[in-house]
Amino acid sequence: MLAYIKGTLEMKMTEYVVIDVGGLGYKVFMSGTGMDQLGDIGSQVKVYTYYRVREDDISIYGFNTNEELRMFELLLSVSGVGAKTALAMLAVCTPSEFVLAIVSEDINVLTSIPGIGPKSAKRIILELKDKIKKEQQIQELTSVSKNNNAISETNIKVKQMIENDNKVQEAVAALQVLGYNKKEIEKAFMKIDKTNLTTEDLIKKGLTILAN
C-alpha cells in the first residue's frame, strides 16, 4: 500500500500526472484542480495516494492533502459513487465545503457537481451521516472507557461549549468526517477565537491547526 509518492513531476496530462521516483514513473490520476496546485514540470512534489485494485484495473489516485484523500475515500464508500465522480467532486468542492454540506444537509452544493443529481445527493448525505454517527459513538465509548474516573474541569468546559454552540457542533462533526478524533478537535477549538466565525471558518481554522 502506498501512503504517498514524493519525486519529480515529469508530465501533466488531462487526467493524470507522471511522477519520477528513482527512475520509475508513477502514473497518478488527479483532479484538474489538484494538478494545477502541484506546480511546474520538473519541480519536486509530494502527493498522498489511494491505491485502487480491481480485477481489470490497478490505479493510483493522488491528492495534495490528507483531507482530500479522506474525502475521496468517504465518497467511494457511498453506493453508486465511483472514482471519476469522486475526483469530479474534488475539482468543485474543498474538503471543508464538502463536509459542511454533509452535516448541514445542503443538497444544492452536491448537485452543483457534474454527475450528481438530487437523488444521488440525498443518498450521499444519508449514508455519510450514518457513518459519522457510528464513528462518533465509537469515539465517545472509547473516551468514556479511558477516562471514566478522571474527567478534568477543562474537558467539562469544552463539552459544555460544544453542546451550547450549534456552529461548533457542526464544525466538530465535519472534522470528524475527515477522520480527526473528537478529543483532538476539542483541543484545537480551544485555541480559536470563535467570535463572529461561521461554521466554515471554524472548519478551516480547525484544519489548519490539526494539519500541523
Give all domains of the chain, ordered by start, each with its CATH number. Answer: 4-64 (2.40.50.140), 96-106+118-211 (no CATH)
Parallel, antiparallel, or unpaired: how do β-strands 24-29 and 16-21 relate?
A: antiparallel
CA separation for the pair 204, 164 (Å, rounded): 20
pLDDT score for 156 = 55
Number of H helices, E strands in the chain: 10, 5
Please report the sign of the dihedral spanned by the C-alpha atoms of residue 29, residue 34, residue 40, residue 42: negative
Q: Give strand pairing partners of 112.
A: none
CA separation for the pair 99, 177 (Å, rounded): 7
pLDDT score for 150 = 47
Residues 86-94: contacts with CB within 8 Å, 24+ apart? 87/29, 87/30, 87/31, 87/61, 88/31, 88/113, 88/114, 88/115, 89/113, 89/116, 90/31, 90/33, 90/34, 90/63, 91/31, 91/32, 91/33, 91/34
pLDDT (tens, 9 = 90+) of the chain, 212 residues, equals 789 999 999 999 999 999 999 999 999 999 999 999 998 999 999 999 999 988 888 999 999 999 899 889 988 988 888 898 899 888 888 888 888 888 888 899 888 887 788 998 898 888 887 776 655 555 555 555 445 544 455 555 555 554 457 788 888 888 887 888 888 888 888 888 888 888 888 888 888 898 77
Report the 10 Å Cβ neighbour count for 205. Answer: 19
Residue 74 to residues 40, 70, 160, 190: CA-CA distances in angstroms?
A: 30, 6, 29, 27
pTM: 0.74
pLDDT score for 50 = 96
- Which of 158, 154, 166 lies closest to 182, judged by CA? 158
Q: Locate 154 and state its grid cell.
A: 477543562
Burial class, 194, CB count within 10 angstroms (exposed 0-12 / middle 13-18 / buried 19+)? middle
Q: Give strand pairing partners of 11.
A: 18
Angle at 92 between CA 206 and CA 44, to 5 degrees: 75
pLDDT score for 103 = 80
pLDDT score for 142 = 52
